[in-house]
Amino acid sequence: MHKPALRGRQGPWGWLFVSPAVLVLGLFLALPIVMALWVSLLDWNGQSNPFTGGQATFVGLDNYRDLLTQDGLDRTLFATSLRNNAYYVLLFVPLSTGLGLTLAMIVNQRMLRGRSLLRTTFYFPSVTSTIAVSTIFLFLFQGSGAVNSLLSWIGIKGPNWFADPRGVVWVTLGNLGLVDPEQPSGLLADHSFMGLSWFEWLSGPSVAMSTMILLATWTTSGTFMLIFLAALQDIPRELEEAAALDGVNRRQLLRHVTLPALRPVLFLVLTLALIGSWQVFDMVYVMGQGAPGNTTLTPAFMSYQSAFKNADYGQGAAIAFILFAIILVLTGAQRWLLRERGPRQGRRR
């Protein structure tokens, strides 16, 4: 800073160096958001140019109102997609985080042989494309597919996974004879929220959605494993040795040494999982496009569908912004929750 001559020379170079990045990110990330915000206030069918007048009508917040407060098909569909995705989050986030941590602990065992081969094995699904692995899952989970063949060995007749819209909560309770999944009764059927009955809200993910959750867990756990593994290997070994000298057992070591050391990384992984799980798209596109019975419809896919299939770009953009808000709020909430309970307030920023 105290060499003005140098600084004067570097200024133009600095901007020259960042200009391609600024140009591309500005034009294809920042500008689009502003444009979409405008489009979300329009009734526009994708024809002509909405920025120079044309055939688009300004409708204000109508798109948002249809989705959130106005009785009707749009809101019911949107509520369904929110419900589907909420169940996805509820299962995917703990499953993938827990599995990632378990795998990391396994491949971190010093006594285990073949650790690097295992690490490769667990990570491989993460580097392949979602489209390709979805194709594999479509084959494995067909009605008469490999998974059901396996299940039949132990006497279980598996469902027709991708065609089964029943919620797993009602299927389970139905098998126990507690409720009739086909016949919602009294309280649950009579009350509703955002156009969906309580029965529908509480159904759990459909069987079809559950297979997607499995796929996502399978492809993501490897990445999370690596993130956890890096953190595990940063724990000084002396710490474990000192604890061992004090006579702690494995469980105490995990509880009082390992897990506290993993806190920041756990936070990172949970955030990544949460952000990712509101963006499920590729899988939905390949594996069902919302079918069966809209139980695999997610807000991200509905946004795409509204715009590109139904030519209602205003609604599509509005859904995208609601989704954006959900992700922001949940990430913020998670940050706040995890900070409150921590013994160490040391996280910067």
Q: Alpha-carbon distance 307 to 209, whole Å?
A: 23
Q: Which residue, 198 or 285, is less far from another protein as judged by CB?
A: 285
Q: Which residue, 61 or 132, is less far from another protein as judged by CB?
A: 132
* Residue 157 Cβ vs another protein, minimum distance, rounded to whole Å: 15
Q: How many residues bind another protein (CB under 8 A)?
A: 108
User: Which of the residues 239 through 298 are near another protein (CB under 8 A)?
Assistant: 240-241, 243-244, 249-250, 253, 264-265, 268, 272, 275, 278-279, 281-282, 285-287, 289
Amino acid 297 reads: L
Segment lying near another protein (by CB under 8 A), choices 29-37, 168-176, 200-208, 338-346 = 29-37
Q: Which residue, 200 or 226, is less far from another protein as judged by CB?
A: 226
Task: Decide: 92 and 213 in contact? Cβ < 8 Å.
Answer: yes
Q: Which of 123, 139, 131 is nearest to 219 (CA)?
A: 123
**108 to 127: interface string for another protein, x by CB under 8 A:** --xxx--xx-x-xxxxxxxx
Segment lying near another protein (by CB under 8 A), choices 66-74, 131-139, 170-178, 203-211 = 131-139
Q: Phi and psi (nearest 5°) for 58?
A: -80, 120
* Residue 329 Cβ vs another protein, minimum distance, rounded to whole Å: 13
User: Which of the residues 319 through 338 are near another protein (CB under 8 A)?
Assistant: 320-321, 323-324, 327
* Residue 222 Cβ vs another protein, minimum distance, rounded to whole Å: 8
Which spans in the chain are helix H? Answer: 4-25, 31-39, 62-68, 73-107, 115-127, 130-140, 146-153, 168-175, 186-190, 198-201, 207-234, 237-245, 250-253, 259-277, 282-287, 299-304, 313-341
Distance separating the N- and C-terminal Cα atoms of the chain: 25
**30 to 59: interface string for another protein, x by CB under 8 A:** xxxx-xx--x---------xxx--------
Q: Alpha-carbon distance 27 to 133, whole Å?
A: 32
Amino acid 168 reads: V
* Residue 202 Cβ vs another protein, minimum distance, rounded to whole Å: 27
DSSP letters of 108-177? T-TT-SSHHHHHHHHHHHHHS-HHHHHHHHHHHTSTTSHHHHHHHHTT-----GGG---BHHHHHHHHTT
Task: Decide: 221 and 99 in contact? Cβ < 8 Å.
Answer: yes
Segment lying near another protein (by CB under 8 A), choices 58-66, 81-89, 137-145, 190-198 = 137-145
* Residue 163 Cβ vs another protein, minimum distance, rounded to whole Å: 10
**Residue 12 binds to another protein (criterion: CB under 8 A):** yes
> Which residue from 58, 61, 69, 131 is in contact with another protein, where contact means CB under 8 A?
131
Q: Which residue, 168 or 273, is less far from another protein as judged by CB?
A: 273
